[in-house]
């Protein structure tokens, strides 16, 4: 019998493409053929040859995202993709699938914020599975945006600390944990804001998919996963994907859209065990100059060594991207090291690294959890506010400096973390890393869920059952 063919469509951003590529690799290792559809810009930037060598069953295709070629597609302008993909990419994606030379797909796995693919799948009679690249807790939170609006919790206005610390009561399971300030950043927008409306619509459209895939593991987020099982006929928690795919460094490095600077690894080799703080704010957020300087002086004043990944477009002033001041780079050589884009998973796993100052993107959070590195969180957008709350209060694997950006706080938290003053955090970090690794071992929860996903897709393939339900 021919092998199942699966079409995978990520949202065109690093944090979405990477986990979906890891999934593609897993399905390819199970003998599936994969059509991986990127926007044209990501398609060009990805090291496709490296993937093809390892997984000849993956074919890379591209569709336009509707933005002009010179659009930056990063930083604050990433949101333009929300609207352009929905209108421009949808008919092109449909034509692409309808005219594919490969056998008709057993299913389409699309990003949770590319729900137009679910409409396309329905039009073509193909089952749709949605992959939300957020945590389960955050995915569950997003399903309550409409309710939060109705209850008058949105917009969260930057009020007094007392106001911002008020608990939110309308999200089942999160009543004692989620404060106003921990709601996703879009909850600070006016209810009529198109970005907030986009997420409300996408969350509702997502539920038309027959199953949900999450890059998380049952032991970490059991309550939220079981809540999500009340919405979707099947939920597959298959993470941490970078561990589950048993990928080599070559594998996750080739998922990178930016040029990786490997030189920091030899620098780390020369540093004492657990002596360096890794700092990265991911692929999208930007810092203004004042914020950058607060972090800089906080790090320098802590007198700890650090490795900071600073993208060329990470610091912005009124005129757009601006450079790291030259004198800082020169001064950094003694205790600090700057790279444009780091081999993050290798860095986090390195023995010299003691902890991670992060923006709390979900991939970064999970990558840190998997290798047992405690975090200092400075969330800015999207799911980051929710993730940092889970990190600090639910899982106790880090400290949250949400809504604060001053050098004395940075200095204090860096010292607390690097000097191991938070024994509770050190203990949970080790325990949860063990659970993460167990989940992807043979027989672990994520391993079982991946196998179930594979079997369910095979079933769709063999019966060519175009109905929406995957039988559990």
In the residue annotation, 71 being an active-site residue is answered as no
Distance (Å, whole) CA 242 – CA 213: 15
Q: By CB under 6 A, tell whether 392 contacts ligand UDP.
A: no
**Of 345 and 400, which has the nearer Cβ to ligand UDP?**
345
Q: Least distance in Å: CB of 238 to ligand UDP? A: 16
Parallel, antiparallel, or unpaired for β 128-132 and 107-111?
Answer: parallel
The nearer residue to ligand UDP, 117 or 284, going by C-beta atoms, is 284
Binding piece for ligand UDP, criterion CB under 6 A, among 116-124, 172-180, 340-348, 443-451: 340-348
Reduce the DSSP state of residue 237 to 3 states and report it: strand
Residue ranges in 247-276 that form contacts with ligand UDP under rule CB under 6 A: 256
Helices and strands in the chain, H and E counts:
22, 16
Per-residue contact flags (x/-) with ligand UDP for residues 279 to 298, judged by CB under 6 A: -x-xxx--------------
CA distance 204 to 146: 10
Interaction mask 123-162, ligand UDP, x per CB under 6 A: ----------------------------------------
Q: Give yes or no for residue 115 binding ligand UDP (CB under 6 A).
A: no
d(C-alpha 74, C-alpha 467), whole Å: 37
Choose, from 16, 144, 359, 461, the residue flagged as catalytic. 16
Nearest distance, CB of residue 118 and ligand UDP, angstroms: 22
Task: Write down the least CB distance from residue 282 to ligand UDP, Å.
Answer: 3
Q: Which of 10, 184, 361, 444 binds ligand UDP (CB under 6 A)?
A: 361
Going from the C-alpha of 89 to that of each of 5, 48, 421, the distances in angstroms are 21, 21, 51
**Which residue of 9, 34, 244, 309 would you call a contact of ligand UDP, by CB under 6 A?**
309
CB of 99 to ligand UDP, least distance (A): 32
Contact status: 362 vs ligand UDP (CB under 6 A): yes
Determine which helix (DSSP H) or strand (DSSP E) holds 307, and give its type and residue range. Answer: strand 305-309
Could you give the CA distance from residue 289 to residue 267 in angstroms, rounded to a whole number?
27
- CA angle at residue 257 from 49 to 350, to 5 degrees? 95
Q: 13 vs 470, which CB is nearer to ligand UDP?
A: 13
Q: How many residues bind ligand UDP (CB under 6 A)?
A: 18
Q: Is 239 in the site for ligand UDP (CB under 6 A)?
A: no
CB nearer ligand UDP, residue 344 or residue 439: 344
Residue 355 CB, nearest approach to ligand UDP (Å): 15
In the complex with ligand UDP, which residue's Cβ is closer, 282 or 398? 282
Selected from 36, 341, 356, 395, the binder of ligand UDP by CB under 6 A is 341
Q: How many CB atoms lie within 10 A of CB 393?
A: 15
Q: How far is the CB of 116 from ligand UDP (least distance, A)?
A: 21
CA angle 80, 401, 424 (to 5 degrees): 130
Residues 30/37, Cβ–Cβ less than 8 Å: no
Check binding of 364 to ligand UDP (CB under 6 A): yes
Among 264, 276, 342, 454, binds ligand UDP (CB under 6 A): 342
The reply to whether 74 sits near ligand UDP by the rule CB under 6 A is no
Min CB(381)–ligand UDP separation in Å: 8
Burial of 88 (0-12, 13-18, 19+ CB in 10 A): middle
For 68, phi and psi rounded to 5 degrees?
Answer: -65, 155
Kind and range of the H or E run holding 386: helix 384-389
Taking the least distance from each CB to ligand UDP, the nearer of 23 and 106 is 23
Of 84, 344, 385, 388, the one binding ligand UDP by CB under 6 A: 344
- The structure tokens listed for 227 are 């809540």
Q: How far is the CB of 252 from ligand UDP (least distance, A)?
A: 7
Label residue 452 exposed, middle or buried (CB < 10 Å: 0-12, 13-18, 19+): middle
Quick check: 33 binds ligand UDP (CB under 6 A)?
A: no
- Could you give the CA distance from residue 452 to residue 420 in angstroms, rounded to a whole number? 40
379 binds ligand UDP per the rule CB under 6 A: no
Residues whose CB falls within 8 Å of the CB of residue 202, separated by 6 or more in sequence, listed in order:
112, 113, 115
Residues in the chain: 472
Q: Kindly tell me which residue out of 65, 367, 400, 411 binds ligand UDP, with binding defined by CB under 6 A.
A: 367
How many angstroms separate the most distant Cα atoms in the chain?
Answer: 65
Q: What is the DSSP letter of 394?
A: I
How many CA atoms, within 13 angstroms, populate the side-chain half-sphere of residue 198?
19
Nearest to 96 by CA among 82, 110, 81, 84: 110
Alpha-carbon torsion 391, 437, 21, 138, what sign?
A: negative
Minimum CB distance to ligand UDP, residue 182 (Å): 17
**Residue 111 annotated in active site:** yes
Q: In the complex with ligand UDP, which residue's Cβ is closer, 362 or 378?
A: 362
Q: Which of 111, 182, 346, 456 is catalytic?
A: 111
Catalogue the active-site residues: 16, 111
Binding site for ligand UDP (CB under 6 A): 14-15, 18, 256, 280, 282-284, 309, 341-342, 344-345, 361-364, 367
């Amino acid at each position: 019998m021919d092998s199942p063919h699966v079409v995978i469509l990520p949202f065109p951003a690093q944090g979405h493409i990477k986990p979906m590529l890891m999934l593609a690799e897993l399905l390819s290792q199970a003998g599936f053929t994969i059509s991986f559809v990127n926007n044209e810009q990501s398609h060009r930037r990805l090291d496709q040859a490296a993937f093809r060598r390892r997984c000849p069953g993956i074919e890379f295709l591209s569709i336009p995202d509707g933005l002009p070629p010179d659009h930056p597609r990063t930083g604050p302008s990433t949101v333009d993709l929300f609207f352009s993909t929905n209108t421009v990419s949808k008919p092109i994606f449909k034509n692409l699938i309808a005219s594919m030379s490969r056998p008709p797909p057993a299913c389409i796995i699309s990003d949770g914020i590319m729900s137009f693919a679910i409409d396309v799948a329905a039009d073509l009679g193909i089952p749709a599975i949605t992959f939300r690249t957020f945590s389960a807790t955050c995915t569950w939170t997003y399903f309550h945006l409409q309710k939060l609006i109705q209850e008058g919790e949105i917009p969260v206005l930057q009020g007094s600390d007392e106001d911002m610390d008020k608990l939110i009561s309308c999200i089942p399971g999160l009543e004692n944990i989620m404060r106003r300030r921990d709601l996703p950043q879009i909850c600070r927008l006016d209810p009529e804001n198109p970005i907030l409306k986009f997420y409300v619509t996408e969350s509702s459209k997502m539920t038309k998919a027959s199953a949900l895939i999450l890059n998380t593991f049952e032991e970490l987020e059991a309550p939220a996963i079981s809540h999500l099982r009340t919405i979707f006929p099947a939920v597959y928690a298959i993470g941490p994907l970078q561990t589950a795919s048993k990928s080599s460094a070559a594998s996750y490095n080739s998922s990178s859209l930016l040029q990786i600077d490997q030189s920091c690894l030899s620098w780390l080799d020369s540093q004492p065990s657990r002596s360096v703080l890794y700092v990265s704010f991911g692929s999208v957020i930007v810092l203004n100059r004042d914020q950058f300087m607060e972090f800089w002086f906080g790090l320098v004043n802590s007198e700890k060594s650090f490795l900071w990944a600073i993208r060329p477009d990470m610091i912005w002033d009124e005129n757009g991207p601006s450079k790291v001041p030259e004198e800082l780079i020169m001064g950094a050589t003694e205790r600090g090291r700057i790279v444009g884009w780091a081999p993050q998973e290798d860095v986090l796993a390195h023995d010299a690294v003691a902890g991670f100052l992060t923006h709390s993107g979900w991939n970064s959070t999970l990558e840190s959890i998997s290798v047992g590195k405690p975090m200092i969180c400075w969330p800015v957008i999207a799911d980051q506010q929710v993730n940092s709350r889970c990190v600090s209060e639910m899982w106790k694997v880090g400290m949250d400096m949400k809504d604060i950006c001053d050098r004395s706080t940075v200095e204090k938290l860096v010292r607390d973390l690097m000097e191991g003053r938070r024994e509770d955090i050190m203990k949970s970090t080790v325990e949860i890393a063990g659970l993460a690794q167990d989940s992807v071992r043979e027989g672990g929860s994520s391993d079982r869920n991946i196998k179930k996903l594979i079997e369910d897709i095979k079933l769709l393939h063999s019966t060519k059952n175009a109905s929406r339900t995957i039988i559990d």
